Amino acid sequence: MYTQTDELATQYGSINLGRGAPDFDGPPVVRHAALTAMRSGLNQYSASAGHPELLRVLAETAASDGLDYDPGAEITVTAGATEALAVALETLLKPGDEVLMLEPFYDSYPALVLRAGGIPVPVPLVRHGSAYVLDVDAVAAAVTARTKVLLLNTPHNPTGWSASADELKALADIVLRHGLHVVCDEVYAELVYGSVDGDEMRHPSIASLPGLRERTIVCSSASKSLSVCGWRVGWAYAPRRLSSALRHAHRMLSYCAPVPLQLGVAEGLTWARETGWFDQQRTVYRERRDALVSGLTAAGLRPVVPTSGYMVIAQTGTVLPHDPMVANEVLARDHGVTGLPLSGFFENPERASGLLRFAFCKELAVIEEAGRRLAALSSTDAVPSERSRKIHAGSE
């Protein structure tokens, strides 16, 4: 999917809204701190669990959310959230254990679960009007004697859903009732846009609920919050009981995250907290979300308005072919915009029919230009157009 998206964007010179990576740099302070660390000779291994400075800052961040983690024993710096998720699952799973995950799911999840010997068990988020909602009863009904882990992604990619306080509580009840563990992927925790009245806030962690800290491994990274996806600096918060196994898995897998970049992230997280930068970022992203949503709406692509993250799911509806790969090609070629087909985000790829994902972690001018290009869609013929039929048949 990502390959098709990138290839289409290159081939047709289209605006690539398929990739969920910013087209801008994060704050300069982050890069300066990393360069300073590099120039001052911090270019060898740090302690495997992480540079003490970043561990200290991560403990402070958790404390500001009311969570107490010992930086010397309960926090581990990893190569992005991806490695944090991998080692968390490896720590918790035995062969044949079932892992509940909300579908659509971030496309790495099934592979990460299988790699750790587990069995992915998707539970659909339900499309309700213009939003996705959690069906708590469906989560409860999916629990079996073999269920070991709830792999929870909130805020959620790709739907933009994020769990409300009531939903977190309901999920926590299920976890406690069945003695499960939670691996919580919170990479978009700083990107919650709140309610329509403009109320913006940081996402609460399920680990802060009574009884959950001891059963939860929280995974996150600087990729989204500081716009440094390429740095590969992430982390896991795990209770002492689980942390040494997790740290061992991390030591064997990557040993440590890039050291100067760990220091850049430490400086960036401190600076962002002290200056209120994350609040400013939320305002910036809210404006970009609104621009993208209005462009998609005007094009007839019926977007789901996300309350978090930086992805929007749109429907091909009557203006594009239902096959998302074909729709994406038509979009790239005829309209100069590329999205992402979601087949990798569902157990059964047919459930991705009619859906494309667009990312708004792009400069506002780029999103607005995409909107102008997409506007032409609403005046094109209903599908299938002659052109899209030919693409589908492979004759063009």
Distance of CA 95 to the CA centre of its chain: 26
- The SS3 call for residue 350 is helix
CB 224 within 8 A of CB 269: no
Among 46, 147, 154, 221, interactor with ligand PMP by CB under 6 A: 221
Query: Any contact of residue 80 with ligand PMP (CB under 6 A)?
Result: yes
Q: Which region among 2-10, 75-83, 159-167, 369-377 touches ligand PMP (by CB under 6 A)? A: 75-83
Nearer to ligand PMP by C-beta: 84 or 374?
A: 84
Query: Any contact of residue 187 with ligand PMP (CB under 6 A)?
Result: yes
Query: Any contact of residue 185 with ligand PMP (CB under 6 A)?
Result: yes
Query: Any contact of residue 81 with ligand PMP (CB under 6 A)?
Result: yes
Binding letters toward ligand PMP, positions 286-325, x by CB under 6 A: ----------------------------------------
CB atoms within 10 A of CB 378: 13
The residue among 103, 90, 290 whose CA lies nearest residue 196 is 290
For 297-315, give one letter per residue: b (16+ CB within 10 A) or e: bebbbbbbbbbbbbbbbbb
Among 76, 91, 154, 223, interactor with ligand PMP by CB under 6 A: 223
Nearer to ligand PMP by C-beta: 81 or 88?
A: 81
CB 19 within 8 A of CB 225: no
Query: Any contact of residue 229 with ligand PMP (CB under 6 A)?
Result: yes
For 146-173, give one letter per residue: b (16+ CB within 10 A) or e: ebbbbbbbbbbbbbbbbbeeebbebbbe
CB 153 within 8 A of CB 327: no
Query: Any contact of residue 205 with ligand PMP (CB under 6 A)?
Result: no
Among 5, 17, 18, 20, interactor with ligand PMP by CB under 6 A: 20
- Point out which residues bind ligand PMP (CB under 6 A): 20, 80-82, 106, 153, 157, 185, 187, 221, 223, 229, 234
